[in-house]
């Protein structure tokens, strides 16, 4: 574990486990790199170098007033990759982290990248527009803003239910998973959390996706209540040149239970392919 300091003085926390081909994980909002711990351990024990960072404003990274923008998130990721001199890397992004991976490639190319994984990822665009009628209305994101600026502790606690699909009939919930989600969420700074909402909802990643020229595994649950598949994975798979789309039947947004086990097996298979 360590930190790097970006050009604007922001400290980015990261963990670095194992040896071998690097696999770099970008987390979703409003979490941090710990959300990837199961996958970090899995790939490190399988002969890879597992790296995960906390996005600026989140977790153990600095909480700067400025720079809470997708371009800056991507540039922070670039500085981490370059500082650690990672090459032939596999970039794995969940949710907002998938946008970060796409924007990184859009801005910095694939010179250091061998493959990419987009899991429950926000690209190409979450917001409903005339050109993107499958997206979610702005009211949905305004409600998230209200939750974060109001009683954010209760909001994050409640958000865990649809995030992991615990609100579905017959679903087996986990108090432990819910508490972990709440704990990670409460570590994000208020300004960073608030400003990131616009970044994951209103950023258009279409041109970034078109610039991805490495094998890409796009994975998404068809019962994702946070990032609906019709506005994300189904469109992304058509925009990325060398993409493989896998739809997990009945799976929620967050990795949990049998869904996590299946994704873990698919991730290893993709790394080895």
Q: Which of 182, 190, 198 is nearest to 57 (CA)?
A: 190
Catalytic residue of the set 95, 201, 232, 236: 95
Contacts for 172-179: CB closer than 8 Å, 24+ residues apart:
172/257, 174/256, 177/254, 177/256
Instruction: Respond yes or no: is residue 236 known to be catalytic.
Output: no
Instruction: Specify the CATH class of 2-272 in words.
Output: alpha beta
Structure pTM?
Answer: 0.97
Helix residue ranges per DSSP H, the chain: 37-45, 70-83, 96-108, 138-149, 152-163, 175-186, 190-202, 206-210, 233-239, 257-272
Q: In this predicted structure, what is the pLDDT of residue 66?
A: 97
Angstrom distance (rounded) from CA 43 to CA 11: 26
* CA-to-CA separations, 148 to 57, 144, 152, 216, 255, in angstroms, rounded: 14, 6, 5, 33, 23
Dist CA 102 CA 243 (whole Å): 13
Please give the pLDDT value at position 158.
Answer: 98
Q: How many residues does this entry show for the chain?
A: 273
Q: What pLDDT was estimated at residue 270? A: 98
Residue 120 Cα to chain centre, angstroms: 8
Q: Using one digit for the tens of pLDDT, what is the confidence trace for 70-90?
A: 999 999 999 999 999 999 999
> For this structure, is 273 an active site residue?
no
- The rounded radius of gyration (Å) of the Cα atoms in the chain is 17
Nearest to 136 by CA among 91, 202, 81: 202
pLDDT at 215: 98
Give the pLDDT confidence of 120-156 residue by residue, as tens digits: 999 999 999 999 999 999 999 999 999 999 999 999 9
Alpha carbon separation from 203 to 93, 99, 103, 127 (Å, rounded): 16, 9, 10, 8
> Which regions of the chain are under pLDDT 50?
none
Give the residue extent of every domain in the chain.
2-272
Q: Quick one: DSSP state of residue 27?
A: P
Catalytically annotated residue among 220, 224, 232, 236: 224
DSSP SS3 for 65: coil
Q: What is the pLDDT of residue 98?
A: 98
CA nearest to 30, candidates 151, 139, 126, 152: 152
Question: In terms of Cα–Cα distance, which of 228, 246, 235 is closest to 208?
Answer: 235
> Is residue 153 annotated as a catalytic residue, yes or no?
no
SS3 state of residue 95:
coil
- pLDDT for residue 1: 78
Model pLDDT, residue 123: 98
Cβ(6)–Cβ(75) under 8 Å?
Answer: yes
């Amino acid at each position: 574990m360590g930190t790097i300091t970006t050009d604007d003085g922001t400290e980015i926390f990261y963990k670095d486990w194992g040896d071998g081909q690097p696999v770099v994980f970008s987390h979703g909002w409003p979490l941090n790199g710990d959300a990837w711990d199961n996958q970090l351990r899995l790939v490190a024990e399988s002969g890879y170098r597992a790296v995960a960072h906390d996005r600026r404003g989140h977790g153990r990274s600095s909480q700067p007033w400025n720079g809470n923008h997708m371009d800056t998130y991507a540039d922070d990721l670039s500085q981490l990759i370059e500082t650690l001199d990672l090459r032939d890397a596999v970039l794995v992004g969940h949710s907002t982290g998938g946008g970060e991976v796409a924007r990184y490639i859009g801005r910095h190319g694939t010179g250091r990248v061998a493959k990419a994984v987009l899991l429950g990822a926000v690209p190409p665009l979450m917001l409903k527009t005339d050109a993107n009628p499958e997206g979610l209305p702005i009211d949905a994101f305004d409600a998230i803003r209200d939750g974060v600026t109001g009683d954010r502790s209760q909001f994050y606690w409640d958000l865990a239910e649809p995030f992991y699909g615990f609100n579905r009939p017959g679903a087996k919930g986990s108090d432990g998973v819910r508490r972990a989600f709440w704990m990670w969420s409460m570590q994000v700074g208020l300004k960073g959390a608030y400003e990131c909402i616009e970044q994951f909802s209103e950023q258009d990643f279409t041109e970034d996706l078109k610039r991805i020229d490495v094998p890409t595994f796009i994975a998404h649950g068809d019962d994702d209540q946070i990032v609906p598949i019709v506005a994300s994975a189904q469109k992304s798979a058509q925009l990325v040149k060398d993409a493989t789309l896998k739809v997990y039947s009945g799976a929620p947004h967050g990795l949990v239970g049998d869904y996590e086990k299946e994704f873990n097996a698919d991730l290893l298979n993709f790394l080895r392919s």
